[in-house]
Structure 1
């Protein structure tokens, strides 16, 4: 045979998980076994294309003029004539310009530039002249601008993929009428809201089998239509849009073709139409995160081929129909976060032998099965928080040997945890049994090497903490989150922390722990959150904790500690520092101002003295504008594949204690209340323009409220009550339009309360205890004199003649007094000498007395500094 194969490649179409929603191709390229060379015109066109690219990783190094272009990386040629037919340039970190030299590749039918970065440049219009293209993949390549109408000229195009470029938009879609061969279309993240007839346009393509339009700002599915001609449609992803209406009935027309339907988070409302469960070939259905209400139709049992069914986070009510138990191919069932009620029993799982993922959390269901029930399934994931499972510990769990994730928090389980529980599965990664009434000796707990999260908070676990921490059988654990607060744990913290070096979050708060914080905790170098609050721990905070440099949250409140350590300023990653009610004495160290990332500073209810550091303005997280940062949410939470664990910190932002969890990252708080602080409020505190909660109440502060406090425009709560503040309320406070709480009571403030909608909206009790304060909302009206003291020139009604008489009389009196004394000294020499001798003696006495007191003060200062 004269002509042999130049290149052999095999094309595989691979489906990923629904979260990927994209078409992907894998290729195998064999060695060249032919003498057919690359067509020179194609070779030069490719070299021109390369020159336009920015090739950060030098991935196109094989594109050399000295080599046959048919063996270049990513290039495929026709096996007979050597013309370039396919370019696989995906995921190469390419950028720059796409050269028009592509037009010279007359046989090119496949162009893949997926997962590159073209820096928000427009899609080249000349691509609409590449008439041989059957596949064009520009997805996730950072293109922006109008999708060119010229693409409608590609009548041979079967697979246009432009998705995941969130800067693209269309002015209309009528140009798509020329894409007569289209089978696959991905326009996800493109703005399509200008095209109101998108549904009718898409339904005119008889060969269209996959349509991806998620997050496209669509607002209507045309529920009034009775029929939509999607005769070949197999995959339809519409999640993340804004439909704000019921599910249309025309979906029932797709019963013979549709395999996957995803309308997650699309503002759907109304009842689930029973007809949608008549889609007999449906394998995946996601209606989660909408506003659907009413019951789950019993026709759900008709989905005989369904593998994944998501109905979670809606407003569904009623009971779960027994027909669910007929879905023999069901692998994933999410129904949590609804208003469902009633009993779930063995019948609901009768034929669910393939069930792997079960999410029923936050639904008011009663899981009522026999104590000897053996489920037909083997779960990997079981989330059943708030589902009533108890009072007995569920014995059916013992049969679940494949469990990776278990959440049975708030499930009404009480009594002893069975002995088999702690070693019944070797695959478990997450155990959450919090907020039950489970009794267990912590020495009985066994942690497998796979477990990362153990949450047993709010139970009745008991025993010395050291018997748990120092067990040799768990010395090789890989635990990252230990949440054991609100139990009956006792004893001193051990020195076995070398066994726990994987810990990221540690919460032993609200137990019966005693003793000192051990220096050995320095071994926890990965630790981001340390919570030992509400115990009986005493003494110093050891300086060894400096080695835990990743700490972002420290909560040691409600203990018996000594002083705030100076080294705290070295913990520059700290976001939350809660040392409330610790019996601290001494000063607030200036080093606290070095914590530039700090968002919560709570030192309330201690015995701190001295002044408020004026360097607090250096805490830039409270001073500088910053938008919502997704990385911050990771700093404040633990996220690992199937779980998110958020910190839960009690704070007192507006006078009442509140639990902050997911929204903790949004808090900016300084609470120094109930101490013995003196001096004035530093004017520099006004620089903290992002502060939301400020509490300096119940101290010994004097002076004025900072004049520029009104520049702190995000303040929601200000409590300066029970101090010795004086002067007027600054007029700038009327700028604080977000104030939900203001308390200035029991100070020495005077003058009129500034007029503003906000300041007059608070009860008078928030201003009482200031006898010289007047004006609304206080019952005391401001007199003319008080208005004058408040800087007002209005109301001065004294008669000019009375003023003149007053000043004339004062002048006469001064003259008589001056000459009565000074005249006698001037004319009588003996009196004059006696007076000046007396003045000299007084001067010497004042000088000596002053120097003695200054020396005493200096000695006292030296002693205190030691």
Structure 2
């Protein structure tokens, strides 16, 4: 036994991808980004003590290696960023432990409901594949789950995640989700990232890009003042922007473009958000005006194709991209606009009621 330990110690110094226990049995294989090609061999099922397997970012092909079901100690499995295809069989609900990542592959078919039998599962990444059908409601039984990623799969419809009270990261962008924005999200106190894209005790990231969500954006998303990113582009949200977003003193990015929003944009949104860096509200039916002086950190402002009125701002010291075409801004374009917006390199004010000329602004190197 002592001899075997010494031999393994020498081997480990030459090839650091393997970890073993005191008995010399393999417990860890870390082979990420090592140019592995072809299918995973069945012989891997003979590693009875294997607890951690990372084969991510290779060129692995074939189907899901069912030989892994024999690895009864397996707790962490990462097969992401490969070319594995085919359907996941019902047997995947046995023999796997706490973390399962199959992101960025070519899996298809439906997500098997048997995954719900992995009651100790804490991380489940299935994003960027070709899964279809309905997200199984049984996933709501995974009470230990902290991370769930389902983005970029052509599902037919979504499911409720309200029972997953330990979630800190939920992502389901580009999944053809329909219906109103889930109000239970506001009550999930541990959720730090909700992308239906930093872990925190409060909600900090909301991303629901490119779904078919309808209804109003709920009040209370920023009840704790910790929301940093609200990204809800390309849905069917209606009604107005919640006035409570003015409480988001940590807000850095707000993207509500390509929806059906209407009504007044709260004035406090421009004055309360001192950390705001990017705002995208284009292609809605929003009204309102802009302050003379924009937030100091604002770099991108796109409000084109709305119904904004009044004068355009004269001071935006960090602004680089400003698009406000097809609105109802009026008055004269400030002659010193270049001085108030020294970093600006993209400007679109077409189809407004403005007068005057833009001097010097676009002539800088």
State the TM-score, normalizing by the size of structure 2. Answer: 0.80
Does 1:553 pair with 2:205?
Answer: yes
Provide the rounded CA distance (Å) in 1 between the counterparts of 2:69 and 2:347. Answer: 51
Checking the alignment, whether the CA contact within 8 Å between 1:466 and 1:492 is kept in structure 2 is: no
Provide the rounded CA distance (Å) in 1 between the counterparts of 2:224 and 2:314. Answer: 32
Provide the rounded CA distance (Å) in 1 between the counterparts of 2:210 and 2:245. Answer: 20
1:367-401 C-alpha deviation (Å, 9 max, x unpaired): xxxxxxxxx9836241322x432232344543444
Provide the rounded CA distance (Å) in 1 between the counterparts of 2:8 and 2:158. Answer: 57
Match of 2:303 among 689, 696, 699: 696
Does 1:528 pair with 2:168?
Answer: yes
Does 1:717 pair with 2:325?
Answer: no
Match of 1:457 among 103, 106, 111: 103
Q: CA deviation at 1:613?
A: 1.6
Instruction: Please name the residue that 2:199 is paired with.
Output: none
Unaligned runs of 5+ in 2: 1-5, 192-203
Kindly tell me: are residues 737 and 515 of structure 1, through their superposed partners in 2, closer, same or farther at Cα, counting changes over 3 Å?
same
Provide the rounded CA distance (Å) in 2 between the counterparts of 1:601 and 1:579. Answer: 8
Q: CA deviation at 1:704?
A: 1.5
Match of 2:68 among 390, 410, 421: 421
1:388-440 C-alpha deviation (Å, 9 max, x unpaired): 32232344543444444433233222221222124425143242423423323
1:716-757 C-alpha deviation (Å, 9 max, x unpaired): 32222333323333324434344453333343332121435x
SS of 1:331's equivalent in the other structure is: helix
Matches within 5 A, 1:649-664: none
Unaligned runs of 5+ in 1: 1-306, 308-325, 334-351, 359-375, 624-667, 763-866
Larger radius of gyration: 1
1:137-194 C-alpha deviation (Å, 9 max, x unpaired): xxxxxxxxxxxxxxxxxxxxxxxxxxxxxxxxxxxxxxxxxxxxxxxxxxxxxxxxxx
Instruction: Please name the residue that 1:336 is paired with.
Output: none
Count of residue pairs brought into register by the alignment = 343
Kindly tell me: are residues 610 and 433 of structure 1, through their superposed partners in 2, closer, same or farther at Cα, counting changes over 3 Å?
same
Provide the rounded CA distance (Å) in 2 between the counterparts of 1:535 and 1:590. Answer: 29
Instruction: Please name the residue that 1:446 is paired with.
Output: 93
Instruction: Please name the residue that 1:750 is paired with.
Output: 355
Provide the rounded CA distance (Å) in 1 between the counterparts of 2:261 and 2:125. Answer: 31
Does 1:705 pair with 2:357?
Answer: no
Matches within 5 A, 1:85-124: none
Does 1:477 pair with 2:85?
Answer: no
Matches within 5 A, 1:488-507: 488-507=130-149
Provide the rounded CA distance (Å) in 1 between the counterparts of 2:138 and 2:179. Answer: 20
Kindly tell me: are residues 745 and 483 of structure 1, through their superposed partners in 2, closer, same or farther at Cα, counting changes over 3 Å?
farther
1:429-456 C-alpha deviation (Å, 9 max, x unpaired): 242423423323253423657423x221
Instruction: Please name the residue that 1:541 is paired with.
Output: 181
Provide the rounded CA distance (Å) in 1 between the counterparts of 2:17 and 2:135. Answer: 43
Does 1:383 pair with 2:31?
Answer: yes
Q: Could you say which structure has the greater relative contact order, defined with CA pairs below 8 angstroms and 6 or more residues apart?
A: 2
Matches within 5 A, 1:295-694: 329-332=10-13, 356=18, 378=26, 380-385=28-33, 387-395=34-42, 397-441=44-88, 443-446=90-93, 448=95, 450-452=97-99, 454-465=100-111, 467-469=113-115, 471=116, 473-474=117-118, 476-479=119-122, 481-515=123-157, 517-518=159-160, 521-551=161-191, 552-563=204-215, 564-570=217-223, 572-617=225-270, 619-620=272-273, 622=275, 668-680=277-289, 682-683=290-291, 686-694=293-301
Provide the rounded CA distance (Å) in 2 between the counterparts of 1:332 and 1:717. Answer: 52
User: 1 or 2, which has the higher helix percentage?
Assistant: 1
SS of 1:329's equivalent in the other structure is: helix
Q: CA deviation at 1:693?
A: 2.1
1:36-69 C-alpha deviation (Å, 9 max, x unpaired): xxxxxxxxxxxxxxxxxxxxxxxxxxxxxxxxxx
Provide the rounded CA distance (Å) in 2 between the counterparts of 1:559 and 1:509. Answer: 10
Does 1:760 pair with 2:348?
Answer: no
Provide the rounded CA distance (Å) in 2 between the counterparts of 1:572 and 1:447. Answer: 41
SS of 1:503's equivalent in the other structure is: coil
| Cα RMSD (Å) | 3.3
Matches within 5 A, 1:26-105: none
Kindly tell me: are residues 410 and 356 of structure 1, through their superposed partners in 2, closer, same or farther at Cα, counting changes over 3 Å?
closer
Provide the rounded CA distance (Å) in 2 between the counterparts of 1:705 and 1:393. Answer: 60
Does 1:726 pair with 2:333?
Answer: no
Provide the rounded CA distance (Å) in 2 between the counterparts of 1:460 and 1:417. Answer: 10
